[in-house]
Chain A
Amino acid sequence: MDRNQPDAAEAERDALAACIEAIAAHQDREAFARLFGHFAPRLKAYLMRTGSDPGKAEELVQEAMILVWRKAATFDRRQASAATWLFTIARNRRIDVIRRERRPEVDPMDPALVNPPPPSAEEAMGTGQRDLRLRAAIRELPVEQADLLQQAFYEGLSHSEIAEVRGLPLGTVKSRLRLAFTRLRKIMAEHI
């Protein structure tokens, strides 16, 4: 995907989201094959980065893709991009299987759920593009902040693990990530 062409990136993103919707609507095998072709090798790369050997990564991706088929109806492109939705499924599978823990998630049907005040018109319009804005915002981060942020996600490392791998004091890792986070939040808030 050419990052210098936001229109192309947006079209690609919409096409992948449409694949998930087609699976939900009529169990579309062609759409699934396309989604698989795009994401399975990337999810495998992610799982290998987080420490799985190739065989285990392959197995986890297959299980994650089965979940993608089953859970397609819960995908909502206004909430997340296809890439993000698949990331969360692979991440949760990794936690369940590798760490033998259960991933606690917010349940949208939870009677205890506190809902946000209804969004204004501008807000409702903006949600579909949050991921594109966020991508732009991350590109504007100073290199040392963006690096750590990506390491946290690529490798699923905790702050202290990043500090160890990078040979940085824990305080430095924490403050850089905090700066990155604050800045991203500020940029996202400005774009509402």
Chain B
Amino acid sequence: MVQFHPPDELLLGYAAGSLSEPWSVLVATHLTLCPDCRRATADLEEIGGLAIEDLAPVAMSPTALSSVMAAVAGASYAEGVQDAPPAFPFLDLAVGDPPLPRPLATYLNRAGTPHAWRTLLPGVQEAALPAHAASGRPSLMRIRPGYPVPQHTHVGSEAIILLAGGFSDGLGDYRRGDVSFADGRHEHRPVAHRDAVCLCFIVTDAPVRFTGVIGRLLNVFNRS
């Protein structure tokens, strides 16, 4: 079972519809794997329902109902069966690995998958995803067993959701579905578990700065 959940503000933003797409993808991916947060989010959406009920109605145009009726008349109502999302060979998932949650798979399919992994540090590879949204830089990261996840200091917020493998960060052991969230107040230094390659989806709000000697070198290269 999932142990580490997104902070309330992300669930609230997801329910209200104020998160940008990459952040929403991260939340929906967690919700797929976490029934507790699914229910909390459903409760939050009820607040949206109450808001609708409480607002003073604004009259629609007199012809609105008939145009909607005309639009639905004779249309086919069967919802198209959703095709299975494509496989992502570049992810190099092992046979028997759990499938990518669909909100993320759909997003990868739509955003355009990166062509290759880029080595950030020994044992650490990153694939930045094209960001279409005004806020939220999405990327995938994979870390070989036993290697440290680069230390980040955060100018903005950063959330990592684990898709396969695991890591520990001093606060606990993170597994599939767990979310590690940092909002600039703390540094964290997770290390990948020794038994498997760790695959994560990451969203940052501001460019991540790496700390430490190697980090300083990387910042030089990232300065573009």
A-to-B contact residues, CB < 8 Å: 1, 27, 29, 32-33, 36-37, 39-46, 48-49, 54, 57-58, 61-62, 65-66, 69-71, 73-74, 79-88, 90-92, 94-95, 99, 101-107, 109-116, 130-131, 134-135, 138, 149-150, 152-154, 156-159, 161, 174, 177-178, 181-182, 184-185, 188
| Given known A102-B110, A185-B43, contact A49–B132 (CB-CB < 8 A) | no
**The residue from A41, A65, A111 contacting B59, defined by CB atoms under 8 A apart:** A41
| Given known A27-B77, A71-B79, A177-B9, contact A101–B21 (CB-CB < 8 A) | yes
Name, among A58, A99, A107, the residue most crowded by chain B CB atoms within 10 Å (CB to CB): A107
B60 touches A104 (CB 8 A): no
Cβ contacts A to B, 29 pairs, < 8 Å: A40-B60, A40-B64, A40-B65, A41-B59, A42-B55, A44-B60, A45-B55, A62-B68, A66-B71, A69-B68, A73-B77, A74-B79, A84-B48, A87-B52, A103-B17, A104-B28, A110-B101, A114-B33, A116-B35, A116-B38, A135-B50, A150-B51, A153-B15, A156-B18, A157-B16, A157-B18, A159-B13, A178-B9, A181-B8
Residues of A contacting B43 in the complex (Cβ-Cβ under 8 angstroms): 130, 134, 184-185, 188
**The residue from B8, B38, B50 contacting A182, defined by CB atoms under 8 A apart:** B8
Name, among A57, A90, A134, the residue most crowded by chain B CB atoms within 10 Å (CB to CB): A134
Residues of B contacting A188 in the complex (Cβ-Cβ under 8 angstroms): 43
B-to-A contact residues, CB < 8 Å: 2, 8-9, 11-13, 15-21, 24-25, 28-29, 31-36, 38-40, 42-61, 64-65, 67-69, 71-72, 75, 77, 79, 82, 98-104, 106-107, 110, 132-133, 177
Name, among B11, B36, B69, the residue most crowded by chain A CB atoms within 10 Å (CB to CB): B69
